[in-house]
A and B are shown apart, each in its own frame.
Chain A
Amino acid sequence: MTLAEFIHDSKQNHALCLEAAYHANLTICTSWIIKSYAKSKDEAKDLFIEAMVILSENNFKNRIEPTQTLLSTYLLAICKNLIRQADRNKKFQKVDLENLPEVAGAEEFEAFGFGNETQLKSLQDSLEKLGHPCNTIIREFYFNQTRQEKITEMLGYQNVDVTKTMKYKCLGRLKDIFFKMYKQS
């Protein structure tokens, strides 16, 4: 499967395409990781799954160019970068984190809570509070990576523009609820 094919198939059904890509590349990638970097089978599988996540993320953000490059080559490149990154992180772990000097602005950084658990929990709660159809639109577009055309069909809207307007309105509402809940927690 090439990158162009993956992008095309992903637009039709993202979950199905991702599953197919997983099955097609699991053995190639894991065996390569085990052979080249002397990793265990479980480590190799974790790395492959992480590479698949990055692939999915890059596809959502339109960061992949629809070339004739093989998907396996792309995934192997991601795996390579992940291993190098992990090696770099290992070096940083040697630093005594407990005795680090306090940095100004760290509290502010934490206030916005980049990727912590409470933030994710409040996001889920706020999504539930959002109600239909905003909940569906946000979930389908941002999490299930469904195309706007399909969402339009699903919800029976007149055209894509209506869905687009609805999506931004819902995002605005979600932001209000999310920060309200996050501040409360």
Chain B
Amino acid sequence: MYQLNQKEIELIEAYHLNNISEEEKIMLTNRLVNEPEFRTAFEEFTSLLSAMDAQRRLQTRKFLKSIDQKKNTKIDGPTKNNLLWMILGIIICGLIFVIVRSKKQVKNDIKELKTDVNSTKENDTTLIKKDSQTFQNKTYPLAEANQATRLKISSKYYQTPEFGTVRSSEKDSVKTKLIRLYYEKQYSEITKIYQNTKTADPEIKLLIGTAYYHQAKWRNATSIFTEIQKDGGLHDEAEWYSLLCYLNDTDQANKFKSLARKIRSNPDHSFYNETLSLLSDIKNKKITLYIPD
């Protein structure tokens, strides 16, 4: 049996791996043709190398499949557990959320109840306090209102007073003349006549007062209205129109304050409701009025 040396084995291996030069190839083929013993040894050796190739391929295939199995087991095993853990986690979180929320709700309910009780108590007292203090406060919602705003508010509440029917005996008297002039809106004429003739009739006085009012002569108007208040008769009307005059006269804010308080404290006053709505209107307009004490 032919024994191959190292060089020959190297050559056969190179031939098997196709790493052989052309010269070596020719030399090898010559030997294979001429030396039958060498040929047998060559064939045996190449078949061994082929078997080893097959074994190597098999081993690599097994190795690659083992990676795949490892990957699969990695995915199958822990993910199932992970899913279970996730579901458990969600349930626990949900429970905690519900418990915490219900506790908070109970706390809030108790707080609300407490505040309700306190607020009702406070409200009662504060409302009373507020009611009495609104006019005592130094600031009042008309302070910064300009003349136009004052006029706007007062004209909303101003209504021309109705004067009684003129009797036949009174025809061509001063009263009928004044009333006619009033409806003709000749307010300056009325005031001129008033300066010449003095009268004690509260109705005529009211007419003259409102005539001053229409001319924006607030001081003159209020002086006549105070006269009516003193004499009696159309007392409530006089007070109401004085209040409107004070509203328009920026210097009379203090008087406005005291008169409004007076009317407000008397629910039987003919202009009680009007006064209340006038005050709330001033408040809603959010205009502040500084009234010095």
Identify the A interface with B (CB < 8 A). Answer: 15, 18-19, 22-23, 45, 49-50, 52-53, 56-57, 60-63, 112-115, 119-120, 123-124, 138, 142-143, 145, 165, 168-169, 171-172, 174-175, 178-179
Among B21-29, B45-53, B190-198, the stretch that binds chain A is B45-53
Q: Nearest Cβ distance between residue A15 and chain B, in whole angstroms?
A: 7
- B contact residues around A112 at 8 Å (CB): 43-44, 47
Residues of A within 8 A of B50 (CB): 114-115
Residues of chain A within 8 A of B43, CB atoms compared? 112
Residues of chain A with a CB closer than 8 A to B61's CB: 49-50, 53
Contact A53 B9 (CB under 8 A): no
Which chain B residues border A178 with CB–CB below 8 Å? 48, 51
Cβ B56 vs Cβ A57 within 8 A? yes
| A19 B6 Cβ-Cβ under 8 A | no
A120-B60 CB under 8 A given contacts A62-B17, A172-B4, A172-B9? no
The 4 closest A-B pairs by CB, nearest first: A112-B47, A168-B6, A115-B54, A168-B9
* Residues in A neighbouring B4, C-beta threshold 8 A: 172
Indicate whether A142 sits within 8 Å of B56 (C-beta atoms), given known contacts A61-B17, A62-B17.
yes
Query: A-facing mask of B65-81, CB < 8 A → 1, else 0?
Result: 10110010000000000
A17 to B54, CA, bound (A): 21
Cβ-defined partner of A175 (8 Å) among B10, B45, B60, B65? B45
Per the bound structure, the CA–CA distance linking A113 and B55 in Å amounts to 13
Cβ-closest chain B residue relative to A123: B51
Closest to A63 in B: B18
B58: A residues at CB distance < 8 A: 120
The answer, yes or no, to whether B64 is at the interface (CB within 8 Å) is yes
| Complexed CA–CA distance, A107 and B67 (Å) | 39
One digit per residue, 1 when the CB lies within 8 angstroms of any chain A CB and 0 when it does not, for chain B 1-24 equals: 001101001100100011100000
Assuming A61-B18, A123-B52, A172-B4, is B59 touching A143 (CB within 8 A)? yes
A174 touches B17 (CB 8 A): no
Scoring B17, B45, B51 by chain A CB atoms within 10 A of each residue's CB, the highest score goes to: B51
The verdict on B57 contacting chain A, using a C-beta distance below 8 Å, is yes
Q: Which residues of A contact B97 (CB under 8 A)?
A: none
B126–chain A nearest beta-carbon distance, Å: 74
Contact check, B54 vs A120: say whether CB atoms are below 8 A apart: yes
Residues of A within 8 A of B48 (CB): 123, 171, 174-175, 178-179
Q: Across the interface, do B63 and A60 meet the contact criterion of CB distance under 8 Å?
A: no
Q: Using A175-B48, A178-B51 as known contacts, say yes or no to A52 and B64 having CB atoms under 8 A apart.
A: yes
A-B contact pairs, 30 of them (CB 8 A): A18-B63, A22-B67, A49-B61, A49-B64, A49-B68, A52-B60, A52-B64, A53-B61, A53-B64, A56-B60, A57-B56, A61-B17, A62-B19, A63-B18, A112-B43, A115-B50, A115-B51, A119-B51, A120-B51, A120-B58, A123-B55, A142-B52, A142-B55, A142-B56, A143-B56, A171-B9, A172-B9, A175-B44, A175-B45, A178-B48
Given contacts A62-B17, A115-B50, contact A143 B55 (CB under 8 A): yes
Max chain B CB contacts within 10 Å: which of A57, A113, A114, A171?
A171
Q: Does A18 lie within 8 Å of B64, measured CB to CB? A: yes
Within residues 28 to 43 of chain B, which ones have a CB less than 8 A from any CB in chain A?
Answer: 43
Question: Known interface pairs A113-B47, A114-B47. Does A120 touch B55 (Cβ–Cβ under 8 Å)?
Answer: yes
